[in-house]
Chains A and B, each alone.
Chain A
Amino acid sequence: MGLLSDPNRRRALTKLLTRLNAPICVMCYLAGVAWFMGLAFEPFTLRTYMSENAMGSTMVEERFPAGERALATGREFAAHKKKVGGMPVDWLVKTMQSRGLEVFTQSFTRKLPFPDENKERYMVRGTNVYGILRAPRAPRTEALVLSAPCSEGNNNNQAVGLLLGLAQYFRSQIHWAKDIIFLVNEHDLIGMQAWLEGYHHTNTTGGDWSPLQGRGGSIQAALSLELSSDVITSLDLVLEGLNGQLPNLDLANLFYAFCQKIGVLCTIQGKLQRNDWDTTSGYSHAAQTMMLMVLKQASGRPWGDHGLFLRYHIEAASIRGINSFRQYKTDTTTIGRLLEGMYRKLNNLLERLHQSYFFYLMPSLSRFVSIGYYMPAFGLLAVILLLRVSFHLWDNRGFYFYLTPSSPGVLSILTPVVISHMTGVALYTLPILSQEMAVQHFPVSETEAVVLTAIAIYTAGLALPHNTHRLLQGEGTEEGWRVLKLVALLYLAVLLGCTALINFSLGFILALSLVPIAAFITPHTPKALSAAIMVLLSPGCTLLYCVFVFQELQETPVSLQDGWMLFLSVISQGILDHALYGSLVYPLLALLIYPCWLLLWNILFWK
């Protein structure tokens, strides 16, 4: 308290902060990175535990017997799928009805803003089929969802077979207290989006779907199942959803607990758990797993069909069967038992899953880092921005800079801010709007047109500082760039702070690249070197590095050429995710982060 009221001590403090500003900033940055890397070190993490009492102690006896029959159903489904050349709606309806479910269908059409070259689709037309197993003596207020996508080619047939097998088995049991919805969705996420919007009667992204006929009340939890082979070696749990949302940690705990109980190998991010945390390789394994999670979360896209449930406050995860070359195989009956156990426990829930964490990182399936542990890493980075603010606000003696009469007008500050944001708006809107024109004039496909336009606008933004000055009268003053830098620092601090609260990973990655340039950029640094560093640390290049790092971590390294192609497709995916599912990463980058970076770029070229 004395600090605030005692001018002497206050002066001492500000003097310390201003004099040692640069070393403190560097220390903070290094500490932040070190803290983050330390999160993967096992002694610093917590072991997962089941917080929800309703799912905790009660033991469930799993008796699902019909794995073979489920596989046969899957083969039948595959045959019908091939015959129809898409979703065998009639067959599914009949099969589900014969299993005693109330069956409904939903048709949807969706025109993508531009063709999706990864999945080769443009005009999407499909049908979702779902059957509701009505819980006896429950008033249709709560439901659980089990979904399996009907994918192109030969994928996921086993998942649909198992889903139908489970439906038949669940129907003969009497202990269900919540309705169970068995959903087979076509065109993976687009179908899921249509179904969820139909279920909740919302329309966030302008899709066209037919209204649902049957409902089961508020959905409490959902699992999405992906299986492509008759036997599997391990099950992978996918948690990352839209905009980096994660389901409650108890869902992951439940999965882990049943994998342990039944004896199925389980992975997260495709990585098994290792016990040798005290060795270097053990640590790097955990760090890789966590980094993968951070990168996936930062991307803001749904990494499985479950990802869209999270918006509706429905805890959801995808379970993916993986068949690798390991000796130990698990058959479908076992997976069925695992799912039965999980649904029995979810059925026991008295409240929504809320006891455990919603914000966490997982270095392995049995350890987690909670928000309280990872936030300091970001805080250490963010505090640099505030330190720099203080540095620019106070002079060396600890007094405020007073705005002299020669201080810059509002206009000279506002102009670069407005122009930067206009560039951001152009980056956000033009790629999709101008795709037709681009296709007419250049020999490119629509997708390429969109991506290349985006890159062109992004690059064109670099030329801006030279033009902004033409709009201003006279020379930019010393005070001018200081004020602009203050604005940019505060803006970036607020932006990153808010992003990190919603999506820690995205906030942290952006802070890693943007904080150093924001901290040390002035018009007086060597122009060429600074410009090179700024371009290398710009959001676009960060994305490029992330693509390479991600591929490296997934143990599928790519060449420079492939990496670039991947980078282009990632951009198009990002724009599509925004248009189709309402992912916010693309607008955030285009409308806020990029203009902020342009402000800094303006400072560098301040005259």
Chain B
Amino acid sequence: MAAHRCNIFMLVFVLCGLTYVFVRADIEDTNHVKDAESVAVDIAPKANIGASLRSTKTEDQTQAAEEERQWEAETNPADAPSDNKADHVHDTMQNLDSRPAPYAKDQTQEAAEEERQWEATEVKEADRVPDTMQTPDVPPLTPAKDQFQEELVIRPLHSGDIYASFQFRTMWDTDFLRGSKVSHYRLFPKSLGQVISKFSVRELHISFTQGYWRTMQWGQPFLPSPPGAELWVWFQDTVTDVDGAWKELTNVLSGIFCASLNFIDSTNTVQPSASFKPLGLGNVTDQRFLRYAVLPREIVCTENLTPWKKLLPCGSKVAVCLMFDALMKVASSQSFRLSYNTSEICHNSYCKSTVWELRQTLNVVFDLHTSGQGKREWSLFKMFSRTVTEACPLASSSKVYVDGELFELSPTTPLLSQAVVLGDRRTYSVYDLTNQATFGQTRSLNMLLRWRAAESGDMLRPLLHGERYVAGYGLQTGEIHTLMYNNHPYRAFPVLLLDTVPWYLRLYIHTLTVTSKGRDNKPSYIHYQPSKDRLRPHLLEMLVQLPPNSVTEVTMQFERALLKWTEYTPDPNHGFYVGSSVISALVPSVVAMDTNSTRECPLFSSFFPCKEESSYFMRVYTEPLLVNLPTPDFSMPYNVICLTCTVVAVGYGSLYNLLTRTFQVEEPSPGLAKRLANIIRRLRGVPLL
């Protein structure tokens, strides 16, 4: 007994020890920013050799960062905006021309963003010193190893909702894959860096989404994503066992992001051949190194928000990210999305060196209807229950953009920016948080939006829009319908449709029909990979031309498989999810569509439609499907057991009885004479009659 107790005490002790270790590890992990501080403090003097002497060792990290920026500004006086513009346009043009179609989206987006930045600076030029954020585009003499930018875009939507998109971009000029092991992390999150180097990841894209982006009401999001969790990874072509790396990677990521990414296995992983191309550098098109998976069932909540916050240099303590504390009240939001994108991008226009880029975005749509009781008024304080008081000291740029002109803003800002985003020309009001003047007397920024008119005008219909549903009834067969809307009045464009269907819906591929405007529409490219039961899903990729102003319907019949009883989820009557299908397309720009040209633009500029605005990349995710499979009544095992036992008993019993019983022909009793004769015969010893 005593020994037992002793064992228990030992066990408790060991457990305590382990807990302590883990807690310590956790604390260290969360405080990696602090670790980075000391590193920064060490590095700073080295970088400042040419600068005046400063007692950096006693200064805190924020100051160090600021100094560094100042120093960069000093040493790079060449970064005049006009030069930048030329570079950017050149870069963009080059990218657009040289790259195959699907890449263009992010290039365009990036271009748009950079352009936005540029234009913002141009306006600023008049009144203040150019910001340091342009520095990465020109090779510095002694390059800043890493830098961090943050921004918030607020876009009032036509439905009356508010779309807030937080974006944080960390760039680091380092090489995770070759050479010595990277051990000094400053702004770039260590946990991700280690993952990248361990698994030789070229690109990593994760998104967690709750709710569905209503394209028809809200227009296009900056970064689309399907409901649930989505993960797609390009591995370096040096990886030999891609499946193994993928499996391990998903498990590691599941730990980092507190999400059930470990449910990603071969049954929901596909290798799309055309729909997902690397967004960063690298012209790999070999889909062997790509893995794509969606978990439509994954629900995003605050436990995912915490690890997301941890990856930010400033955490949630300061800066724009102040607001997520208030985001805990996401209850009032309509749709909610977290995403991470890591990829290698060019460092400069000539691509002589590369940097690693991490973009973390948080997109929220707030429902003004439920919270505002119909009042068309909005303020930061009302939404987030707090105001912005300062920027993240580590950020090289920190801005708030407000989209549109249909409302009054207070305080007003002198900075305006124009950009073509997703094919539409928009005007943004810009608040630069690194400028103390933005905060005014009260040392806090609380934007107030008040709509000028009751009606917010007609929304431009999104040119591309997708829908999906299951048709039919009963539990045997069904039909998946995917509708793709091309709302462009006169231009047709091709789209890539990617459909991943789990194996338990057995697709009848011969029933695949594609019709637009009542006529058969023959896809110019079809890539179909049939499923294998319990091993891999169906994968269908098609390149379809969408005629102008039409609805294209893709239908396919399927049969519902009967699963093994252990394969059912704990709530089998809820149904089984089928992930969203992905529609990727180069959509003709709305700006180019605007032919009546009422805008003030020089006449000479409109002979030919403007090239770089003519089309943009767009990805649309349809809604996931919930399909009921034939489900046994799991509450009936007792009855089933009783019934089977009875059947077995009756069947077996009677059969056994028949088999083992000996049958004899029963003779009628012989007559008296015969009996007498037999007695005599027995006495004589001869055989009886």
Contact = CB atoms under 8 A, between A and B. Distances in A.
Given A139-B211, A139-B228, A171-B370, A352 B623 contact: no
Contacts of A15: none
Contacts of A140: 212, 227, 623-624
A201 B575 contact: no
Contacts, number: 106
B472 A202 contact: yes
B158 to A, nearest CB: 12
A352 B631 CA distance: 12
Interface string B441-481: 00000000000000000000000000101111111000101
A65 B265 CA distance: 50
B336 interface: yes
B623 A139 contact: yes
Contacts of A560: none
Interface stretch (B584-592, B605-613, B651-659): B651-659
Interface string A207-248: 000000001011000000000000000000000000000000
A466 interface: no
A173 B373 CA distance: 11
B626 interface: yes
A201 B654 CA distance: 52
Contact of B335 (A136, A171, A200): A136
A312 B475 CA distance: 10
Contact of B332 (A100, A174, A202, A217): A174
A11 to B, nearest CB: 14
A174 B626 CA distance: 23
Contacts of A201: 469, 471-472, 479, 481
Given A1-B653, A141-B626, A352-B574, A200 B472 contact: yes
A313 interface: yes
B230 to A, nearest CB: 12
Q: Which of B210, B212, B217 has the most CB of A within 10 A?
A: B212
Contacts of A352: 573-575, 628
A137 B330 CA distance: 9
A138 interface: yes
Nearest to B471: A201
B211 A136 contact: yes
Nearest to B214: A134
B122 interface: no
A217 B212 CA distance: 12
Contacts of A136: 211, 332-335, 367, 370
B633 to A, nearest CB: 8
A352 B571 CA distance: 9
Given A141-B626, A174-B370, A5 B661 contact: yes
Contacts of B331: 174
A2 B661 CA distance: 11
A258 B273 CA distance: 55
B436 to A, nearest CB: 38
A355 B217 CA distance: 38
Nearest to A138: B211
Contact of A218 (B628, B633, B635, B653): B628
B369 interface: yes
A1 B660 CA distance: 13
B661 A351 contact: no
Contacts of B571: 350-351
B473 A200 contact: yes
Interface string B191-225: 00000000000000000001110101100000000
B335 to A, nearest CB: 6
B573 A313 contact: no
A102 interface: yes
B334 A137 contact: yes
A398 B303 CA distance: 77
B625 interface: yes
A213 to B, nearest CB: 8
B549 to A, nearest CB: 15
Contacts of B217: 102
A102 B159 CA distance: 10
Interface of A: 1-2, 4-5, 100, 102, 134, 136-142, 171-174, 200-202, 215, 217-218, 311-313, 350-352, 354-355
8 contacts: A137-B211, A139-B228, A140-B623, A141-B575, A141-B624, A174-B331, A200-B471, A215-B467
Given A137-B333, A174-B367, A313-B475, 7 more contacts: A4-B658, A5-B661, A200-B471, A201-B479, A202-B471, A352-B628, A354-B573
Interface of B: 210-212, 214, 216-217, 227-228, 296, 330-336, 367, 369-370, 373, 467, 469-475, 479, 481, 571-575, 577, 623-628, 631, 633, 635, 650, 653-654, 657-658, 661
The list of the 3 closest CB pairs from A to B, nearest first, reads A139-B227, A201-B471, A351-B573
